[in-house]
Amino acid sequence: MIDLLAAAPGNRGGGAASGGAGHRRVAESRPQLLWLAFGGGADQGWMRLLRPGFRHCFAGLQDEAGWTVLDPLSGRLLVTRLAVDSGFDLPGFWRRAGCRVLGPFLPGAPARALPAVVPLSCVSLCRALLGPTAPFAVTPYGLFRRLEKKFRNEENVLDEGEGRG
Task: Report d(CA 82, CA 41) in Å as an integer.
Answer: 23
- Residue 139 exposure: Cα atoms within 13 Å on the Cβ side: 15
The answer to whether 34 touches 104, Cβ cutoff 8 Å, is yes
Domain parsing of the chain, residue ranges: 30-111+120-155
Tell me: pLDDT of 153 over 90: no
pLDDT tens readout for residues 6-24: 444 444 444 444 445 555 5
Collapsed DSSP state (helix, strand, coil) of residue 50? coil
**Would the pTM of this model clear 0.85, i.e. be above it?**
no
The confidence band for 155, taking pLDDT boundaries of 50, 70 and 90, is low
Contact 73, 59 (CB under 8 A): no
Span 99-149, pLDDT tens digits: 999 999 999 887 777 666 778 899 999 999 999 889 999 999 999 999 999
User: Is the pLDDT reported for residue 164 higher than 60?
Assistant: no
How many other C-beta atoms can be found within 10 angstroms of the C-beta atom of residue 104? 14
Q: What is the pLDDT of residue 24?
A: 54
- pLDDT, residue 142, reads 96
